Amino acid sequence: MRKFYIETFGCQMNVHDSEKVIGTLAARGYDQVESADDADLVLYNTCSIRDKAEQKVFNRLQEFKRNGRGRTFGVLGCVAQQEGEKIFERAPHVSFVCGSASYNLLPQLLDKVEAGDRRVTGLSLDTEDTFDTPMTRRDNPHRAYITIIEGCDKSCAYCVVPFTRGPERSSASTTVLREVRELADRGYTEIQFLGQNVNSYRDPSPAGLNFAQLLREAGRTPGIRRVRFTTSHPRDFGKDIVDAISENPVLCNQVHLPVQSGSSLMLASMQRQYTRDEYMRRIEWMKNSPRNIALSTDIIVGFPGETLEDFEHTLSLLDEVEFDSIFSFKYSPRPNTPALKLEEQIPEDEKGRRLTILQEKQRAIQLRRNADYIGVVQEVMVEGYNKATGQWIGRTSQNKTLNFAAGSGETAENMLGRYMDVQVLRAGPNSLVGERVN
């Protein structure tokens, strides 16, 4: 029996791609093992969104340089696509390099790898296909990810994704909805639609559904209790999405809408194709929904040319929106991207200073916002158990973590995946604590 080990870096798309790669390998008779030491084939599914993520991959490859004998090493994902054959020079023990746009060719590429070919590549971005595999091996028995659109047609000045994941390709709504129904039949209750920009979903099937219609259809599937989606681009984010959420409680009241900056000047030089006002209009739609939609965003500090005034605009945006959570990053120059050529790069320590200020402000906002939930009863899906605290880990429709006590006698078997009502008793900046109510 051939054994493989896979480690995944980066975003949810990568996590789900790995599930599909694992399914493909399992169907070929491979067994997954938990340690690279036990594997014949070692795969890293990589991320190159920021330099740090990329360095992690090369460090990992370095660890194996000496004792890698007898094993085959493969680099998948975004670093593979970005660095291509250069990886063979930098890490000569690697014999397989494949970007996500070529995963539909995995079987043919694996034939070559297995035949002992030392330089197998899948690097073409010239594909019309998405990577759909019936063999997908899903890790979580309750929540399933479905990629509805791959690639990205935007050209944000800082971003490698258009280079690492290629142009946009949508899956047919008929395929997506069939998968939703099959997953529901197998006991899944939560579906998460994935894509770099789910809002620009274009249905290639004759049904011709737009994204909001696809959401509504998925939300009508018997057995499905929660539908989420990520990631949205503000430019393509229509009011019809908010209306769909407002009208159907199965669609989770949670939206991740990356803003990147609160300064319209910075947004223009980032080539984001919207202004602060246009972003705020979308936020207003959501604030006006009866569903109390939780909002999250991504923010980059220290983009080239960002003045203290621009940065202040980002801070004031946080005050104005009061996000439920944010992911914030120091700008990291990436290969091939237009922002590389911009002058006025911000020094690292100044980026760090701005990031700290931003995160401290947001922490206070979250603490304040989460305190509003004290006393409120929320429905959670039970996701896990924390032995150290003796608490169950639940997630609300708003995607907040709500840890709770459920009384003795409950076991993982009868708790995990269940939906139950929990009253919030305490609130921290990143999670809530509560008690199950009967």
Q: Contact positions toward ligand SF4, by CB under 6 A?
A: 10-11, 13-14, 47-49, 77-78, 160-161, 164-165
Kindly state whether residue 30 participates in binding ligand 5AD, applying the rule CB under 6 A.
Answer: no
Indicate whether 237 belongs to the interface with ligand 5AD (CB under 6 A).
no
* CA 33 to chain centroid: 24
The verdict on 260 binding ligand 5AD (CB under 6 A) reads yes
Q: How far apart are CA 408 and CA 147, in angstroms?
A: 39
Shortest distance (Å) from residue 11 CB to ligand SF4? 3
Using rule CB under 6 A, residue 332 touches ligand 5AD: yes
Q: Which of 16, 334, 351, 400 binds ligand 5AD (CB under 6 A)?
A: 334
Shortest spacing between CB 13 and ligand SF4, in angstroms? 5
Residue 192, classed as helix, strand or coil, is strand
Sign of the alpha-carbon torsion through 35, 38, 44, 50: positive
CB nearest ligand SF4: which residue?
10
Site for ligand 5AD (CB under 6 A): which residue of 117, 217, 298, 379?
298
Which segment (123-131, 186-194, 327-335, 371-379) binds ligand 5AD by CB under 6 A? 327-335
Contact indicator for 406, 392 with CB cutoff of 8 Å:
yes
- Residue 13's binding partner, choosing from ligand 5AD, ligand SF4, none, with beta-carbon cut-off 5 to 8 A by kind? ligand SF4
Query: Taking Cα atoms as reference points, which of 391, 407, 397 lies closest to residue 373?
Result: 397
Per DSSP, helices labelled H in 99-189 are: 106-114, 161-165, 173-185
Cβ 232 to ligand 5AD shortest distance, Å:
10
Q: Give the interface segment with ligand 5AD, choosing from 169-177, 276-284, 316-324, 330-338 (CB under 6 A).
A: 330-338
Q: Is residue 199 a contact partner of residue 236, using CB atoms and an 8 Å limit?
A: yes
> For residue 352, which phi and psi values (nearest 5 degrees)?
-60, -40
Strands 325-330 and 391-396: unpaired
- Look at residue 47 and give the partner it binds from ligand SF4, ligand 5AD, none, a contact being a CB closer than 5 to 8 Å depending on partner kind: ligand SF4
234 Ramachandran zone, left/alpha/beta (phi>0; psi -120 to 50): alpha
List phi, psi (to 5°) of 419.
-105, 135
**Which tokens sit at 6?**
């896979």
Instruction: Quote the tokens at residue 27.
Output: 């169907």
Please name which of 204, 138, 216 lies closest in space to residue 172, comparing C-alpha atoms. 204
The amino acid present at 15, given as its one-letter code, is V
Residue among 78, 106, 159, 180 that touches ligand 5AD (CB under 6 A)? 159
Give yes or no for residue 257 binding ligand 5AD (CB under 6 A): no
For residue 74, which of 10, 136, 9, 120 has the smallest C-alpha distance? Answer: 120
Q: Which does 332 bind (CB under 5 to 8 A by kind): ligand 5AD, ligand SF4, none?
A: ligand 5AD
Report which secondary-structure segment, H or E, holds 54: helix 51-63
Q: Shortest gap between Cβ of 320 and ligand 5AD (angstroms)?
A: 19
- Candidate ranges 31-39, 248-256, 325-333, 389-397; the one touching ligand 5AD (CB under 6 A): 325-333
Measured in whole angstroms, how far is the alpha carbon of residue 245 from the centre of its chain? 20
* Cα(114)–Cα(123) distance, integer angstroms: 19
Residue nearest to ligand 5AD (CB): 298
Least separation, in Å, of the C-beta of 215 and ligand SF4? 22
Of residues 27 and 327, the one with the C-beta less far from ligand 5AD: 327
| Interaction of residue 166 with ligand 5AD, rule CB under 6 A | no
Using CB under 6 A as the binding rule, whether residue 81 contacts ligand 5AD is answered as: no
Q: Which does 432 bind (CB under 5 to 8 A by kind): ligand 5AD, ligand SF4, none?
A: none
Q: Does 329 interact with ligand 5AD (rule: CB under 6 A)?
A: yes
Kindly give the pairing relationship between strand 419-427 and strand 432-436.
antiparallel
Q: Name the residue nearer to ligand 5AD (CB basis): 49 or 321.
A: 49
User: In the block, which residue shows the tokens 């994935």?
Assistant: 194
- Rank residues 49 and 184 by Cβ distance to ligand 5AD and give the closer one: 49
Q: Does residue 331 bind ligand 5AD (CB under 6 A)?
A: yes
CA gap 65, 144 in Å, rounded: 36
Residues that bind ligand 5AD (CB under 6 A): 49-50, 158-159, 258, 260, 298, 300, 329, 331-332, 334
